[in-house]
Amino acid sequence: MLFLHGNPTTSHLWRNVTPHVAGQARTLAPELIGMGASGRPDIDYRFVDHARYLDAFIDALGLDELVLVGHDWGGALAQDWAARHPGRTRGIVLSETFLRPLTWADYPPPVDGLFQAIRTPGTGEQMVLEENWFIEVALRATNPGISGEDLAVYRSPYPDPASRRPLLQWGREYPVEGEPADVHDRVTAYDKWLADTPEVPKLLLTIEPAGLVTDDIEQWARDNIAALEVESIGPAGHHAPEDQPDAIGHAIANWLTRLGLTKPQPTTR
């Protein structure tokens, strides 16, 4: 099982989730390139860059027949990988991620204005690079119960503006109104995969109240994704594994067992 975090978190996000499936599968929780303890190469940190490094990680370890678990951008990367590697995904679990291209109308206020600001040259640099907005504002706002110790773990990889470049780029990558066009095409491609693969079980974990996966997007998922199950994990912020790790872990473990997707074996963190 491959657990993929999003922006601006690290593999620390999964610390209280993976133990729930430790007896069912080998669990791996890498950190995306430029994030956490991973390297900081001189690249643009666009979606295609992250996908390329993820491909290399999976190939280097010889991983196959994967159950992918993705949150936020980790969910988008999971769907993208599965779509580009047909036949290699046994199942996929998604939470608070990007399921289809969006319009600005899909973003409720004030979120729409904040992300428009991040995508504005100069303004976005001030917010994310100088003020560390994703860590100091967004993470606190979406998950106010996060402890100071855990917030420090997420803060530590990004001590200066240069280290925060990946966080800024993520804020500019999601296709809204068709831009960026290349990411729009990748999302459209994995939407087709989601619809055309009834042989691959899919689990969508939702939160209350609805977050990134709004009620409208959840209904779209029910109407357009093959072999989909939807389960609420209860009250949580966007970074749901911080608030509801046990509910997420139990939901995944029960789903795996019921569908026979994994078998008991030694695990590796």
The catalytic residue positions are 72, 96, 238
Which candidate, 11, 40, 6, places its Cα nearest to that of 160? 40
| Tokens 């997007």, residue located | 217
Taking the CB of residue 84, how many other CB atoms lie within 10 A of it?
14
Which residue type occupies 63? Answer: L
Which candidate, 26, 39, 51, 5, places its Cα nearest to that of 256? 26
Helix (H, G, I), strand (E, B) or coil at 259: helix
C-alpha–C-alpha distance, residues 197 and 203, integer Å: 13
C-alpha–C-alpha distance, residues 96 and 29, integer Å: 17
- E-strand ranges in the chain read 2-4, 66-72, 89-97, 202-208, 228-235
Contact between 135 and 159 (Cβ < 8 Å): no
Burial group, residue 157, by CB count within 10 angstroms (0-12, 13-18, 19+): buried
| Sheet with 202-208, side-by-side order of all strands | 2-4, 66-72, 89-97, 202-208, 228-235
Cα 269 vs. chain centroid, distance in angstroms? 19
